[in-house]
Amino acid sequence: MPLRAKRPAVAVEACQGARSLPVRGVRAGLSFEQQDWVAEEVPVALEFNGVSHAVMLATPLDLEDFALGFSLTEGLLQGAEQLYSVEIEASELGITLHCEIASEAFARLKERRRSMAGRTGCGLCGTESLAQVARELPPLQAGHPLSRGAIARAMAQLNEQQALQQVTGAVHAAAWCTTRGEVQWLREDVGRHNALDKLIGALVRDRVDVRQGFIAITSRASFEMVQKAAFAGVPLLAAVSAPTSFAVATAELAGMTLVGFAREQDLVVYCHVERLALQDEQNPSHAN
């Protein structure tokens, strides 16, 4: 599903995560010139104990949350306590996140790198790569039962609270919502995976019991999105767009309820429907 178009240009003095640029165009047959807000996208390098690990293209907001969430959902850390510090260094080339992590976590990271390098050219690297993709997921708790109305409320609030999206029209969002559908934490980024990593980092840092709610996202539900949410312990993931077959299989195996096409009062449940009451709250006799 394409990103929703941004709202018409309004007077905004400053917008974090966006840059004001001069543009020209035609709207309703009339030409115009104006300043327009464009979402920032910069290379963000993650270093662990001085060793470069990955470079992501991201919106330069909530980067400490991003470092923690990425490290956890990629299996580099086993807990937030293993991340000692994050130093943010900006340069002309981009941003580097210097992460200081526990020695045992760094030892696992080095072993993973040695293992991958050692397989190169031996004909077995495909097996190693597949093993790294589909990692073992922790068992999910049952979680609290949810209503269809709660998901509808969450998706409506998600749309309303995307400040950067409303100005630029170019970013995704991930939000953690209560069982009643109230958005409590929200993070935005040009990349859907980055937005989810930022959200998970914030939830872990603030010690939120994620079993008491669910995550809503503005993108499709890919395998990686399901895997990251499962690693965080979230019992339900609701997406505005479709899932993939690998995502459904992963959610089924993890015990996660996966919802797609969550728009207004409509939704599609792909697995573990037992967590959801699909009947209309206003008319219990009518089921969608």
> For 63, left (φ over 0), alpha (ψ -120 to 50), or beta?
alpha
**Could you tell me where the DSSP H helices lie in 89-221?**
103-119, 125-133, 148-160, 163-168, 192-205
What DSSP element (H or E) covers 223?
helix 223-232
Respond yes or no: is residue 99 known to be catalytic.
no
Q: What does the block give as tokens for 114?
A: 């040695």
What residue ranges in the chain does DSSP mark as E strands?
18-27, 30-39, 42-48, 51-58, 83-90, 95-101, 146-147, 172-178, 183-189, 213-217, 236-239, 257-263, 266-271, 276-277
Query: Which residue of the set 122, 125, 177, 271 is catalytic?
Result: 122
Q: Residue 9: exposed, middle, or buried by beta-carbon count in 10 A (0-12, 13-18, 19+)?
A: middle
Catalytic site positions: 122
